C-alpha cells in the first residue's frame, strides 16, 4: 500500500508512464531517492532500472551541480552540470521532466524539481546528444563541454538548436518569472461637467433712426380756415378805417 501511495505522489512532467519513481528528500542537498523500472538517459550515463540517489553538490557557491549516487548514496555514479529552471507552480512532490527523443532511445531526463521549490535543475547535455534531442524535441537544448567535476564549476553553457547550430544560451528562457501586474487603484470618478444652457443675452435696445422730416399726419383744413379769418378781420378793419375818414 505504501508503495502505491508513493507512486501516485510523484509524477513526471513528461508523462513517461513506465517510470515509477519514489522520493525522499533532505532540505540542504535536496536529496531525492528515485526508483525507475526502465532505462533512462542522463547527460553522462545511462541508468539501468533500479534505485538511485540525486543530490546537489555540497557547494555554497554553485547550487546547480547534481550528483547521482547508488541506492545507498555511497557510490558516486555521475556528476551533471545544470542551470536553474523556473516553474510558476511548485508542488509538494518531486518531479522529473524528460525530453522527447527519437523512437527506440531511452527517455532523456531534462530537469529535476525538488518539492516546494520554484527553481529546479535543468541538465546540460554534451554537444552530440543535445543535437539529437533538439532535433527530435524541436527546441533548443542546454549544452556543455565539461566532463569533470572541476570543469563543471566553471564551464560555460551554450544552447543547441534543432538544426544543430550552437548559440548563446538565453538564460531568460529558464529564469524569468511571469509576474502578474500589480492591481492599480480604481481611478477617481470624474464628474462630467453638466451642460448648462446659456441664457440668451438680452437684446440690446435698438436706436430708432430719427426721421429727417416730421411725418405729414396733420390735415391742412384748419390752416385754411385760420387764413380766412385773418383775411376777414383785415377787410373789416380796412372798411372801418375808411368810414372814419
pLDDT value at position 151? 83
**pLDDT (tens digit per residue) in 123-158:** 999 999 999 999 999 999 999 988 877 787 778 899
Among residues 42, 122, 130, which one has the least CA distance to residue 82?
Answer: 122
- DSSP string across 75-131: SEEEEEEEEEEE-SS--SS-EEEEE---TTSPPEEEEEE-TT-SEEEEEPB-HHHHH
Q: Cα-Cα-Cα-Cα dihedral of 84, 90, 93, 99, to 10°?
A: -50
- Looking at the chain, the whole-number percentage of residues with pLDDT higher than 70 is 58
Listed in sequence order, the residues at least 6 apart from 146 whose beta carbon sits closer than 8 Å to its beta carbon are 81, 124, 152, 155
User: Could you give the CA distance from residue 44 to residue 148 in angstroms, rounded to a whole number?
Assistant: 10
- The pLDDT tens digits of the residues spanning 28-45 come to 889 999 999 999 999 989
- Taking each continuous run of H as one helix and of E as one strand, the counts in the chain are 5, 13
Q: How many angstroms separate the CA atoms of 234 and 227, rounded? A: 11
Instruction: Check the CA dihedral 17-14-77-125 and report its sign.
Output: positive
Grid cell listed for 212: 429727417
Average pLDDT for 104-122? 92
For 185-239, write each residue's pLDDT tens digit. Answer: 555 554 544 443 444 454 454 444 444 444 454 455 555 566 666 666 666 666 6
Q: Spell out the domain ranges in the chain.
A: 2-175
The torsion angle over the Cα atoms of residues 225, 228, 232 and 235, rounded to 10 degrees, is 170
Amino acid at each position: 500500500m505504501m508503495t502505491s501511495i508513493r507512486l501516485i505522489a510523484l509524477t513526471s512532467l513528461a508523462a513517461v508512464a513506465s517510470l515509477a519513481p519514489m522520493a525522499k528528500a533532505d532540505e540542504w542537498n535536496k536529496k531525492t531517492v528515485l526508483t525507475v523500472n526502465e532505462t533512462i538517459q542522463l547527460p553522462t550515463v545511462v541508468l539501468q532500472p533500479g534505485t538511485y540517489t540525486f543530490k546537489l553538490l555540497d557547494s555554497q557557491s554553485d547550487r546547480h551541480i547534481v550528483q547521482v549516487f547508488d541506492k545507498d548514496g555511497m557510490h558516486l555514479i555521475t556528476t551533471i552540470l545544470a542551470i536553474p529552471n523556473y516553474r510558476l507552480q511548485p508542488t509538494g512532490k518531486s518531479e522529473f521532466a524528460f525530453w522527447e527523443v527519437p523512437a527506440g532511445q531511452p527517455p532523456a531526463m531534462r530537469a529535476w524539481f525538488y518539492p516546494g521549490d520554484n527553481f529546479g535543475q535543468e541538465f546540460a547535455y554534451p554537444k552530440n546528444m543535445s543535437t539529437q534531442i533538439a532535433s527530435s524535441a524541436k527546441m533548443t537544448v542546454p549544452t556543455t563541454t565539461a566532463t569533470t567535476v572541476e570543469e563543471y564549476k566553471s564551464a560555460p553553457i551554450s544552447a543547441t538548436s534543432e538544426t544543430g547550430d550552437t548559440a548563446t544560451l538565453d538564460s531568460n528562457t529558464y529564469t524569468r518569472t511571469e509576474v502578474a501586474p500589480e492591481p492599480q487603484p480604481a481611478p477617481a470618478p470624474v464628474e462630467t461637467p453638466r451642460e448648462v444652457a446659456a441664457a440668451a443675452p438680452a437684446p440690446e435696445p435698438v436706436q430708432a433712426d430719427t426721421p429727417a422730416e416730421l411725418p405729414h399726419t396733420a390735415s391742412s383744413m384748419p390752416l385754411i380756415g385760420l387764413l380766412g379769418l385773418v383775411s376777414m378781420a383785415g377787410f373789416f378793419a380796412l372798411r372801418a378805417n375808411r368810414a372814419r375818414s
